[in-house]
Homo-oligomer: A and B are copies of this chain.
Amino acid sequence: MSARPWSPTAFRAAARTLAATGQRIYQHGWSPATSSNYSMRLNDRYCAVTVSGRDKGLLSEADIMVVELANNQGASPGKPSAETGLHTQVYRRHADAQAVLHTHSMASTVLTMELADQKRLRLEGYELLKAFGGNSTHDTVLDIPVFENTQDIDALARDVDAAMDAGTITHAYLIRGHGVYTWGESMAACYRQLEALEFLFAVEVQRRQMRSRA
């Protein structure tokens, strides 16, 4: 009798956490129209990830499946999100990453589309920069790279990997017209970073909307 190579108890806990987190993210408006995908690590070979195309406002445990980190193949029933490869890239590279969140907010879309020639978004001087692991002061800079959007997720995952090699990605990256990816050592840490990012993106939009004043 062969047992599954992950703990069913760990999977169910992850599925519950992902469903609850997804509904919360949807309520913020950051996962419209079945966009976005979320995952948690199960062990050094597998993660739990959202099934492709599910309504994030109605997300339940039944919308979560298991994927093998090495090859992005489903290890439980369901079709994994098309962008699963961007989750597994993080888990393969960062042994301490326990959660990855990708959202698709208005603010990240507005900024990356309207600032169409910018390859990074700079966040500077905000108290909320302390929400990112390793920062202990507001008096710092967080540069978030912006990748051009593509449907070739394998190629994008390689580009992300290369940028991590080069040290230009620390806590998150953006994809133009598509949203943000961030990760953390726990879902709580990852979600805190996500809230900070989405808050700061929206602040950046609003500040630019003030700038034409006389």
Q: Interface majority SS on A: helix, strand, loop or mixed?
A: helix
Q: Within 8 Å CB of A104, what residues of B? A: 127-128
Question: When the two chains form their complex, are residues B127 and A178 in contact, meaning their CB atoms are under 8 A apart?
Answer: yes
Inter-chain CA distance A199–B34, complex, in Å, is: 12
Most buried by B among A113, A203, A210: A210
For residue A51, give the distance in angstroms from its CB to the closest CB of chain B. 14
In the bound complex, do residue B33 and residue A179 qualify as a contact, i.e. CB atoms below 8 Å apart? Answer: no
How many identical chains are in the complex?
Answer: 4
**A214: shortest Cβ distance to chain B, in Å?**
6
Cross-chain contact of A212 among B55, B126, B195, B213 (Cβ < 8 A)? B213
A residues 54-81 touching B (CB-CB < 8 Å):
55, 57
Bound Cα distance A205, B126 (Å): 18
Chain B positions within 8 Å of A175 at CB level: 127
- Bound CA span A207–B113, Å: 8
Tell me the bound Cα distance from A113 to B205 in angstroms.
Answer: 13
Contact with B along A93-127 (1 / 0, CB 8 A): 00000000000101001100110000000000111
Tell me if B32 and A126 are in contact (CB < 8 A).
Answer: no
A206 to B213, CA, bound (A): 11
Give the size of the chain A interface in residues (CB under 8 angstroms): 48
Q: Taking the complex as formed, is A92 at the interface, i.e. its CB lies under 8 A from any CB of chain B?
A: no
- Interface-located stretch among A4-12, A130-138, A157-165: A130-138
The 4 A-B residue pairs with the shortest CB-CB distance in the complex, in nearest-first order: A212-B212, A127-B178, A33-B196, A33-B195
A32-B199, A106-B199, A114-B207 known; 17 new pairs, CB 8 Å cut-off, are: A32-B198, A55-B188, A55-B191, A55-B192, A109-B203, A110-B203, A113-B125, A114-B211, A125-B149, A125-B177, A127-B149, A127-B179, A138-B151, A205-B206, A205-B210, A209-B209, A211-B214
Contacts A/B (CB < 8 Å), 18 sampled: A24-B57, A34-B131, A55-B188, A55-B192, A104-B128, A109-B126, A109-B128, A110-B203, A113-B203, A114-B207, A114-B210, A125-B177, A126-B178, A138-B149, A208-B210, A211-B212, A211-B213, A212-B212
